[in-house]
Structure 1
Amino acid sequence: MSTNFGKNYKWTERDRITWETDIDKKDNYEYDYEEPIVDPRYYDYLKGYSDLPHRSLADRLRHKKPTIYGRSREGRRLYGPANISDLGMPTNFNFKREWIADKLLIEEALNVEFKQLLGEGAFGQVWRVRVVANRTHYAAKVLELRRFATDKNANVRESMKQMLLEVDAVRGLQHPNLTRIEIVLHVRDAVTDFPSAFVVIFMELCDGSLEDEIYYRPNHQMTEREARDWFFQIIGALKYLHENRVAHMDIKPENILVQKQPQAVYKLADLGLALTFQPNEPMLTNDRLLGTPGFLAPELVYQDALSIRKLLGMSNRHKATVCDVYSLGITLAVSLGGASRFSHYLNPQHGMTLNLNAYMRDTLLRPDGRFSETDDVITLLKGMCAVNPANRFTIDQVFQHNWISQWY
C-alpha cells in the first residue's frame, strides 16, 4: 500500500480491500505536516469525501490500535487514550498553568489566530479561530485535563477518555446535520512533557444556536413551520447516531447549531456526554446522571434515589435512545413555547425535570396559546415526553407521526 498519505492522495480499490489490515501500520506512513491535520485519512473522511472507504462504527470499535488524533508543537505524532498508561496523575503535573501560554504557542506554530472567545463551560472554552494561510474559520473547543481530573490521584486513562469522548463518539461518522470535527490537537505540559494537558478540537464554525434562534423570534417563540424545519433535520441526525450505536445524552437548544446560508441547516453538536456502545451491546445508560436540568428524562433523575432497586436485584440502567427522544421533545416544546419562564416549571423537589403539562398549559394551549389538545404537535410532544419510558415514542414512531409524515 502506498505511503503517500498527503492531502492529494487518491484511494484505489486495493486500498479499500486492505484498509482493516494496513491501518495497523501507522508507523510506516508519511505525514504531510504543512497543515496541522489528524491522520489525513480521518481528516478527509470527516470532510465527507465520497471516495473514501466506509468504516462502520462496529469496525472502528473492533480496531483496538491507538488512533492518531493530532500532533504536538514539536511535530511528534500523538495518540489517543488507548495508548496511555493506566497510571495516576504525575506528581508534578502543572494544574495551575493557564491556557493563554499554550494559545500563543499554537498560534505561532500552526499560523492560526484565536480571534474571539465565543463561550465557556464546565470543561473549557470555545474560540473563533482563523487559519491565516487560507483564511478558513473554525470553532475551537479547548478542553483542560485539570477540569476532568481534579484529584492528584486521578486516573489518567479515564480522565483522557472523558476529555476525548466527543471526538471518539463521532470519529468516522458523517451526516449533514452533525457538526464536523476537522482537527484535534494535543498540547503537552511544559514541566512534565505529559501529553494532553489541553486538547483543542477544531470544528466547523456555525452562525449560532437554536437557543439564539428562539430568543430573537417574536415573543421568543418559533412558528410551527420554523420548529418543524429544525426538528426534522435534527431527528434525522439523532436517528443516524442511534443506528451507529451512539446516544447523545445532552440534547437542548444550545447544543443545536445553525448555519444560515444559503439556507438554514441545523446541526446536532456537543457530544461531550455521549455514550457509545459495542455491536450487540444493549444501549443502556450507566450510573452517571447525564444531561441538563429540565431536559433530563425522569428515569435518569430518579435513578439515584432508587438504590433500593439494587437491593432488590433490579437494574438502574435505562434505554439511552428514549432518553434522547425525551430531551428532543422538551427542546421542541421550548422552541414553540419559549424559554423565558422555563425555570419556573422545573420540579420543585429536585429542580431537574420539567412539568411539561403545566408548561404546555401556560405557553402552548388555548385559550392563551396557539394549539389545542388534539393538534398533531401536542400529541407528538406528549408521546415523546411520556414519563414512563415504556410508553414513550421511539425515533421511528416520531418519523411516522402525522406532524412529520404529512410534510416530508
Structure 2
Amino acid sequence: MSEALLKDYRLCGEIGRGRFGAVSLCRPLDPNLTGSFAVKSICKASVSGDDLDSQCLLTEPKILSLLSPHPNIVQIYNVYEDSTHLHMVLELCDGPDLHQLIVEGGGPIPEPEVASLFGQLMHAVAHCHRHGVAHRDIKPDNILFDAVCGGRLKLADFGSAASFSVGKGLTQLSGLVGTPYYVAPEVVAGRAYGEKADVWSAGVVLYVMLSGSPPFYGETAVEIFEAVLRANLRFPVRAFRSVSPAAKDLLRRMLCKDVSRRFSAEQVLRHPWIVGGGDANSNDGT
C-alpha cells in the first residue's frame, strides 16, 4: 500500500471488487477535512504492458481529472502510485447502482422518474463528449447514486474510456470494448467508431429502465452480438403498453444502426421527452 496514501487517509475496509483490484472506504486524516471517500486500487500485475487495459489503467485518472468536477460524474480527488498498485481517491457513492435499483424495484421504473434520471445521465455523457472523452462502457452497473446529494446520479468507472478529437469525424476509436448487451453494432462489427457508441449504450440503458429487459437478447455473448448487429428494435406490447410514444421515439433515434442518423448526446438532451420530464403528452420530436 502506498505510504503517501496512508499518510493522508485511513482505510476502513473493502466495499467492492472489480476485475483489476478492490475499492475501499477511506477517511481523511486531516482534521480539517470531513466525510468519507472511496479508494479504487488497481493491481498493475493484473494487466499486461501493451494491451488496451494497460492503456486505460494509465489514462483513467487523467480522464477523470479532465472531467471533474461535474454533478453527474464521479469526482477524483487524489492519485497515488506505488510499485504494485495505482490508487485513485474518488467521491463516495453509497447509494445503490442503477442495476440494483431496477432489480430491487421489481422491474421497470415509472416513466417520469426514468426521464429525470436519464436526463442526468445524458448531461454526464454530453459533458464527456464535449471534452473529447468516450466512456465506452455505459451500463446500469456503472451508474451510481450519491445518497449524500439526495440520490443524484453519477456516471462512474472510466476504466474503458478513451479520448478522441472533437470535430474531426466519428471514426476515431477502435477495439471491442464494452459489455455485450450494451455495446453498439459498429463496435461489434470491428469498424472504427466514435462517441455515438455511447449514445447507443445509453439508449439500451433507457430501454432497460422502461421495460425491465434489454432490447437485444441472446443466451451467449455471441448470440447477443448477433442480435445487436441485426439491430431489430421492437417494443413488446406487454412491456411497453404504458410507455409513451415520445419515449419510444427517443429510443428509435438512439438505437439507430446508421451512425449518421443516430442522435448525439446533445440532441438527446433537446428531445421533447427529456425536456418535458417524461410527460406522456410530450410531442415525439418528429
Tell me, yes or no, whether TM beats 0.5.
yes
Contact 2:21 2:43 in 1 (8 A): yes
1:147 aligns to 2:21 (yes or no): no
2:240 is aligned to 365
168 and 284 in structure 1: CA distance in 2 versus 1, 3 angstrom threshold: farther
Long gaps (5+) in structure 2: 279-286
1:338 aligns to 2:212 (yes or no): yes
1:138 aligns to 2:29 (yes or no): no
Residue among 215, 223, 236 paired with 2:103: 215
405 and 362 in structure 1: CA distance in 2 versus 1, 3 angstrom threshold: same
1:325 aligns to 2:220 (yes or no): no
% same residue: 28
- CA shift for structure 1 position 301: 0.7
Contact 1:245 1:283 in 2 (8 A): no
Aligned residues: 271
1:172 aligns to 2:66 (yes or no): yes
Q: Aligned partners of 1:211, 1:256: CA distance in 2, in Å?
A: 8
Helix, strand or coil at the partner of 2:236: helix
226 and 350 in structure 1: CA distance in 2 versus 1, 3 angstrom threshold: same
Structure of greater relative contact order (alpha carbons < 8 Å, 6+ residues apart): 2
2:114 is aligned to 227
Show CA shifts across 1:138-157 (max 9, x none).
111111111221xxxx459x
Q: Aligned partners of 2:199, 2:179: CA distance in 1, in Å?
A: 14
Helix, strand or coil at the partner of 2:81: strand
Contact 2:98 2:143 in 1 (8 A): yes
1:246 is aligned to 133
2:281 is aligned to none
Letter in 2 for 1:302: A
Q: Aligned partners of 1:163, 1:294: CA distance in 2, in Å?
A: 24
1:351 aligns to 2:238 (yes or no): no
Letter in 1 for 2:218: L
TM-score, normalised with respect to structure 1: 0.60
Q: Aligned partners of 2:183, 2:53: CA distance in 1, in Å?
A: 24
1:187 aligns to 2:57 (yes or no): no
Q: Aligned partners of 1:277, 1:388: CA distance in 2, in Å?
A: 20
Residue among 397, 401, 407 paired with 2:267: 397
Q: Aligned partners of 2:125, 2:149: CA distance in 1, in Å?
A: 23
Helix, strand or coil at the partner of 2:13: strand
Long gaps (5+) in structure 1: 1-101, 189-196, 304-315
Helix, strand or coil at the partner of 2:136: coil
Q: Aligned partners of 1:170, 1:128: CA distance in 2, in Å?
A: 19
Q: Aligned partners of 1:159, 1:298: CA distance in 2, in Å?
A: 21
Q: Aligned partners of 1:225, 1:176: CA distance in 2, in Å?
A: 20
TM-score, normalised with respect to structure 2: 0.83
Contact 2:215 2:234 in 1 (8 A): no
CA RMSD in angstroms comes to 2.8
Contact 1:124 1:141 in 2 (8 A): yes
Letter in 2 for 1:346: G
Q: Aligned partners of 1:357, 1:159: CA distance in 2, in Å?
A: 31
Where in structure 2 are the equivalents of 1:1-400 lying within 5 Å? Answer: 102=1, 109-110=6-7, 112-134=9-31, 136-149=35-48, 154-155=49-50, 161-173=55-67, 174-188=69-83, 197-207=84-94, 208-217=96-105, 219-278=106-165, 281-303=168-190, 316-318=191-193, 320-339=194-213, 342=214, 345-346=217-218, 349-352=222-225, 354=228, 360-361=235-236, 364-366=239-241, 370-371=242-243, 375-400=245-270
Contact 1:126 1:142 in 2 (8 A): yes
